[in-house]
A and B are shown apart, each in its own frame.
Chain A
Amino acid sequence: MSDIALHHESDVSILGNFEATRDSIVTDLYRTHNSWLMGWLRKKIGCSFDAADLMQDTFSKILQKDDLGSIKEPRAYLTTVAHGLMVNHVRRKDIERAYLEALENMPEVDVPSPESLNIMVETLAKIDEMLDGLPERVRSAFLWCQLEGLSHAEIASRLSVSVSSVRQYIAKALLHCLNMGN
């Protein structure tokens, strides 16, 4: 659906000397709103170091967008992009904390190198994002199915629900992931 909307919008944007126009739009955005955005981020996240990082990320993400000509509400647009990045950032920190905590509690698991730790956190964060919004039991059922290879009957007894409920949970989780992927 989103690419239909996008075509429609780029029809009305200035397609002429596209690159030049785009850079000047971003420069304008930056000049006009950067300190305001920095304030917004700092208020939300409470740490100016992270806020500065996120502001850079916000503008570099905007630089990669195709449909800049159609921005009508610059601040709403900036906060939408920044908000998405912020949620990811906080999620990553949260995952990293939980992962280190899990390692600490499971001495039998090997401690990964810093590089593979990063990859692991990234991978888990992507999955976490994909599962966002799923009810707890649906989420658990799907994870046990995918990561432990439990049968539906085993999941049903862990959750004390019927096998037909588990079938529904698994279907719901998969459809959710398919929708998130698109």
Chain B
Amino acid sequence: MARYSNDVIHEATNWFVELTSGEATDADRKEWQRWLNASPENRQAWQQVEAITNRFMGLDSKTSIAVLNRPIDTKDIKSQERRQVIKTLSLMLAAGTAGWYGYKQKPWYLLMADYSTAVGEIKRLTLDDGSLLVLNTDTKVAIDFSNQARTIRLLQGEIYIETAQEQDRNYRPFSVVTDHGTVTALGTKFSTQVKSKHSCVSVYQDAVEVRPCDELDNNVVVNAGELVTFNTAFSQQKQLIDRASMAWINGFIIADKMPLADFVDHLSRYHSGILRCDPAVADLTISGAFPVNDVNAALTSTSEVLAIRIERYTRYFVMIKPA
């Protein structure tokens, strides 16, 4: 493995951008030749660039783009599997006895998950570098620590992190990557949650930097006590966090005059099945600390202080109605 200074690599990258722009002139290309011939280091760096572009040589552009840009549908694996069965069948018919067997399809990156939790489960882990990682209910993460960087891919759900200080010269930046962007810790306690359209970061100590993946310039620094929601292009206005929002880390929901509808929303994340609140009682307020590992107990104690009754149609379908 040849090693170059970052400068040379960046120069080579700039030339690559220039030459692929579609607007490079003969003068630009002459200038590039001069750069190339200026030092063996430059030439070697460019060879690395060519090693990458050569991989695309001779590929059919239509099929290759269809394959490499194939949609990855996280939210609807079931229907993908169904579609897959139909495709497989029609392909097998088309291919006759050529024998291509369908594979029990899962998006491969969900298989990449190194740690996961079931609905209602909370897991605490200590990572190799000493950082604390807490997984909230129904969460999947992949850990990717290298010599250069500490990266956690949040594939689904919510995590809380206390980064360990790396003292020596080998400091490796710590970041959480979601579908919507990158959250880089600046020595920190913070949590990140990923949803289908956006991600959300709450910072409890120090600060983090958020960079939406499509608009890299729209980075924003989020300080302790602040919360920000971001999608792939931009972050929304920062809000102040409610300290009680981190109670899940210890397995609780803390409510302080919380509307029942919100409380039920929170609680339903820990319940496999449907948990609904009748609009007639949605605005009642509740206060207290409720363990999330026992949703039924939390509901029972709620029904003791409010004028509500809990109706259980099955184990999975629970309605909260006026008493």
Contact B23 A151 (CB under 8 A): yes
- The stretch from B63-71, B157-165, B190-198, B257-265 touching chain A is B63-71
For residues 169 through 225 of chain B, which have their beta carbon under 8 Å from a beta carbon of chain A? 177, 181, 213-217
Contact A152 B22 (CB under 8 A): yes
Contact partner of A174 (CB less than 8 A), chosen from B16, B61, B63, B112, is B16
Quick one: given A5-B147, A44-B111, A99-B67, are A177 and B216 in contact (CB under 8 Å)?
Answer: no
Bound Cα distance A83, B144 (Å) = 12
Contact partner of B52 (CB less than 8 A), chosen from A3, A106, A153, A174, is A174
Contact A99 B63 (CB under 8 A): yes
Residues on the A chain within 8 Å of B132, using CB: none
Contact partner of A100 (CB less than 8 A), chosen from B13, B64, B91, is B91
Which chain B residue lies CB-closest to A146? B56
Quick one: given A97-B105, A124-B64, A181-B51, are A87 and B13 in contact (CB under 8 Å)?
Answer: no
Quick one: given A87-B111, A87-B112, A172-B216, are A1 and B147 in contact (CB under 8 Å)?
Answer: yes
Bound Cα distance A109, B62 (Å) = 9
Q: CB of A123 within 8 A of chain B?
A: yes
Contact B56 A147 (CB under 8 A): yes
The interface centre, meaning the residue of A3, A91, A178 with most chain B CB atoms within 10 A of its CB, is A178
Contact A171 B14 (CB under 8 A): yes
Residues on the B chain within 8 Å of A45, using CB: 111
Contact partner of A170 (CB less than 8 A), chosen from B17, B67, B103, is B17
Q: CB of B148 within 8 A of chain A?
A: yes
For residues 55 through 81 of chain B, which have their beta carbon under 8 Å from a beta carbon of chain A? 55-56, 59-70
Which chain A residue lies CB-closest to B94? A104
Which chain B residue lies CB-closest to A128? B68
Q: CB of B1 within 8 A of chain A?
A: yes
For residues 66 through 102 of chain A, which have their beta carbon under 8 Å from a beta carbon of chain B? 83, 86-87, 90-91, 93-95, 97-102
Closest beta carbon of chain B to A91's beta carbon, Å: 5
For residues 1 through 40 of chain B, which have their beta carbon under 8 Å from a beta carbon of chain A? 1, 9-10, 13-14, 16-17, 20-23
Q: CB of B319 within 8 A of chain A?
A: no
Contact A127 B68 (CB under 8 A): yes
Contact B67 A124 (CB under 8 A): yes
Contact A124 B68 (CB under 8 A): yes
- We find that the number of chain A residues with CB closer than 8 angstroms to chain B is 67
Bound Cα distance A177, B111 (Å) = 23
Bound Cα distance A98, B84 (Å) = 10
Which chain A residue lies CB-closest to B45? A178
Q: CB of B44 within 8 A of chain A?
A: no
Residues on the B chain within 8 Å of A47, using CB: 104
Bound Cα distance A178, B151 (Å) = 18
Contact partner of B22 (CB less than 8 A), chosen from A46, A137, A151, A174, is A151
Quick one: given A105-B66, A171-B17, are A90 and B213 in contact (CB under 8 Å)?
Answer: no
Quick one: given A87-B112, A94-B108, are A126 and B55 in contact (CB under 8 Å)?
Answer: yes
Jot down 11 A-B pairs with beta carbons below 8 A, ordered by A. A47-B104, A87-B111, A98-B70, A104-B91, A130-B55, A135-B181, A137-B213, A147-B64, A152-B20, A178-B13, A181-B52
Which 7 A/B pairs are nearest by Cβ-Cβ distance? Answer: A151-B22, A135-B213, A102-B66, A90-B108, A1-B147, A147-B61, A98-B70
Known: A1-B147, A95-B67, A174-B13. 8 other contacts (CB 8 A): A3-B1, A87-B112, A94-B107, A100-B91, A130-B52, A136-B214, A167-B17, A178-B48
Binding site for A on B (CB under 8 A): 1, 9-10, 13-14, 16-17, 20-23, 48-49, 51-53, 55-56, 59-70, 84, 87, 90-91, 94, 100, 103-108, 111-112, 114, 147-148, 153, 177, 181, 213-217, 232
